[in-house]
């Protein structure tokens, strides 16, 4: 039986990547809504259409926690947590301008929506987890 978390990841896998509609952060917002939270990115959706306009409208590439903290904490009221549980979301950093929104799957590590579908990251190989938010998912 497929869990709601993996059903969501399958939805990410088959949904085409689209900046401002279905990208690595807006997919996390979709997950939050599916779990009963307010849409944290309601005011951000469809305001950008490529990497440059994403930076211009949200500042995500230079300061990924600026927009995500405001949206996930202030809009959706998600609590920051110190350790991820399955279904929790985070911003991962692989270096300057290389930040990704991801969801913790548990044994399979972090999963992130990307242009090819979904990429899984072994937690031991992620250089930095900038912040984790508790979603309260119960598989």
What mean pLDDT is predicted for residues 104-129? 96
Q: Give the model's pLDDT for residue 137.
A: 81
Percent of the residues in the chain that have a pLDDT greater than 70, as a whole number = 99
In a domain, 13, yes or no: yes
In a domain, 116, yes or no: yes
CATH no. for residue 115?
3.90.1720
In a domain, 138, yes or no: no
pLDDT at 37 > cutoff 70: yes
What mean pLDDT is predicted for residues 133-139? 85
Domain of residue 25 covers 4-133
Which residues, listed in sequence order, are joined to residue 93 by a DSSP beta bridge? 99, 128
- Reported as a pLDDT band with limits 50, 70 and 90, residue 93 is very high
In a domain, 74, yes or no: yes
- The answer to whether the beta carbons of residues 30 and 74 sit under 8 Å apart is no
pLDDT at 139 > cutoff 70: no
In a domain, 77, yes or no: yes
Neighbours of 28 (CB within 10 A): 29
Tokens of 16: 């085409």
Domain count of the chain? 1
Q: Which of 133, 36, 128 is nearest to 83 (CA)?
A: 133
**DSSP code for 18:** B
Question: Around 52, how many Cα atoms within 13 Å sit in the side-chain half-sphere?
Answer: 0
In a domain, 61, yes or no: yes
**Rounded CA separation 85/72 (Å):** 17
In a domain, 51, yes or no: yes
In a domain, 42, yes or no: yes
Q: Give the model's pLDDT for residue 1.
A: 77
- The answer to whether the beta carbons of residues 100 and 23 sit under 8 Å apart is no
Neighbours of 70 (CB within 10 A): 14
- The answer to whether the beta carbons of residues 44 and 17 sit under 8 Å apart is no
């Amino acid at each position: 039986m497929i869990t709601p978390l993996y059903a969501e990841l399958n939805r990410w896998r088959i949904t085409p990547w689209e900046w401002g509609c279905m990208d690595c952060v807006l997919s996390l917002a979709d997950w939050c809504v599916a779990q009963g939270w307010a849409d944290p990115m309601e005011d951000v959706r469809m305001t950008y259409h490529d990497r440059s306009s994403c930076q211009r409208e949200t500042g995500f590439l230079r300061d990924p926690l600026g927009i995500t903290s405001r949206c996930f904490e202030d809009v959706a009221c998600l609590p920051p947590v110190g350790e991820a549980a399955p279904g929790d979301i985070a911003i991962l950093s692989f270096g300057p301008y290389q930040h990704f929104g991801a969801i913790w799957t548990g044994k399979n590590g972090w999963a992130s929506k990307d242009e090819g579908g979904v990429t899984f990251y072994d937690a031991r190989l992620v250089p930095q987890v900038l912040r984790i938010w508790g979603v309260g998912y119960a598989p």
